[in-house]
Structure 1
Amino acid sequence: MRKIIMGLALAASCLVGAGAALAEDAARRITVTGEGVARAAPDMAVLTLGVRHQAATAAEALTATNAGAAAVLARLSEAGIAARDMQTSGLSLSPIWDRSNDHNVPPKVVGFEASNTVTIRARDLSALGGILDAVVADGANEFRGLQFTLQEPGPLEASARKLAVADAIARAALYAEAAGLRLGPVMAIREPSTQTTPMPMMRAEMAMGDAGGVPIAQGELELRAEVVMEFKITN
């Protein structure tokens, strides 16, 4: 029994010693967050436009909207927008109600409204202004947003991540030097789960569409990356 007790005591002592060593090792580390920002001019625009008409009957509203949408799609094809870059994103037909202020009078249908929206990807930004001008002439009377982006965002994302790592290393080295310590090897590295998506950042030198039609400011895209790195430090 005495041997068993002594063995348990020795094991406990070893565990305590190992725990203390781990705690000391963890205490001699520095954790920093690095940020990287990469910028590039956009090479593609995603926009949603549509045709909306009102008429006395549902058939008339739908016919007018269909005709306008067909003309717009044809114009987009002529302008070089590929079929894979055009997608119908909304169709609707709804009654127009006349609601009297008199609560004793029930609302009545006085007409119908139909709409057809399409989302397109424009890969030639130099022609974007002219395309918008042309589709308006062909019947597009509704715009629901324009976003500039990149056809291949991978290289820009990689640049931002590299800059984030370089920033983290520089920060860790600065802190270690200021504390009179030496920066050791990287012990851990991780990327936060929340990532910032590319957002347009307008700058003074923004390019304006000069192909005629609607003026377009392309600006510049900015992508931010963040990385958390843990380093060992020594005296």
Structure 2
Amino acid sequence: MRLALRSLALATVLAFGSLAMTVDAQTVAVPTYAADGTLLSVSAQAEARRAPDIATVSAGVVTQAADANGALRQNAEQMAKVVAAIRAAGVAERDVQTAGVNLNPQYRYVENQPPAITGYQASNNVNVIVRDIAKLGRILDALVANGANQINGPTFDIDQKEPVLDEARRAALEKARKRADMYAQSLGMHVRRIVSIDETGGASIPRPVPMMAMAKMARDEATPISPGENVLSVSLNVVFELGK
């Protein structure tokens, strides 16, 4: 019986050891290449441009009163009108998110005396996503008309980035392949295959709108908005195998 248990324990250790070796081999797998091959690492960057189709703006209300309750109550009443204006503009509930509610005492400072509270300031801010940029100027005007006294933004973005990034990826890969072909031909070799691809980037960079479009928007009655265009950038590090 003791011999059987010892054999079972040994078999278990061997089984777990084999499993550990398999897992380690998978996690540290290194790409292989032919003995007569040469590895070439190429970096390439490409951009894809699109006009932004969404904008994010921060809108809020700041109020002051002699006591904390009064400042917060006034703020709530004024902010309710602002939120109602956002809803009336057709902004969906999922596109409105509270960014912060703050209540802070206001102090008077006199030399050689401790600070004295003179009142309280309350603030409430919401982040609003506008999916129809053509309406953004009028939405901002409506917010201010209904009590918003704090506006920040807008920040323009592209809602569906992946198709745009795919365009940049294809362009970067094509650029890397052409560069690899050039090196291979210079060495009297050819590109056998791609060993690995490492991607970085995906940043969205806003670009200014042309002056003609700005002048056209400036004639609008609403607050002028110039969305310009956004640039999505992708960088690739591609390792090629070259051979004769």
Cα shift at 1:35:
1.2
- Per the TM alignment, residue 174 of structure 1 is displaced from its structure 2 partner at its CA by 1.9
Is contact 1:206–1:220 with CA below 8 Å preserved after alignment? no
Q: In structure 1, which of residues 129, 146, 156 is the aligned counterpart of residue 154 of structure 2? A: 146
User: How far does residue 196 in structure 1 lie from its aligned partner after superposition?
Assistant: 3.7
TM-score (norm 2): 0.79
* Amino acid aligned to 2:94: R
Q: Which ranges in structure 2 are unaligned for 5 or more consecutive residues?
A: 1-31
Q: Which residue of 1 aligns with 2:179?
A: 171
Counterpart of 1:53?
A: 63
Match of 2:166 in 1: 158
For 2:109, the equivalent position in structure 1 comes to: 99
Q: Distance in 2 between matches of 1:177 and 1:139?
A: 68
Q: Structure 1 length normalisation: TM-score?
A: 0.82
Q: Distance in 1 between matches of 2:122 and 2:232?
A: 39
C-alpha change, 1:166 and 1:107, in structure 2 (3 Å) is same
Q: Which residue of 1 aligns with 2:90?
A: 80
Are the equivalent residues in 2 in contact too, given 1:206–1:218 (CA < 8 A)? no
Residue in structure 1 matched with residue 224 of structure 2 by the alignment: 215
Percent pairwise identity = 35
Give the structure 1 partner of residue 210 of structure 2: 204
Q: Which of these residues, 134, 141, 159, is aligned with residue 126 of structure 1?
A: 134
SS at match of 1:222: strand
Structure 2 counterparts to residues 104-115 of structure 1, below 5 A = 105-115=113-123
1:161 positional shift:
1.2
Instruction: Report if the CA contact (8 A) 2:36-2:243 is conserved.
Output: no
By how many angstroms is 1:99 displaced?
1.2
RMSD, aligned α-carbons: 2.1
**Residues 157, 196 of structure 1: CA spacing in aligned structure 2 closer, same or farther, 3 A cutoff?**
closer
Given candidates 143, 163, 168, the residue that maps to 1:135 is 143
CA positional deviation for 1:191: 1.8
Residues 79, 201 of structure 1: alpha-carbon distance in 2 compared, 3 angstrom cutoff:
same
Q: Give, in angstroms, the shift of residue 46 of structure 1.
A: 1.0
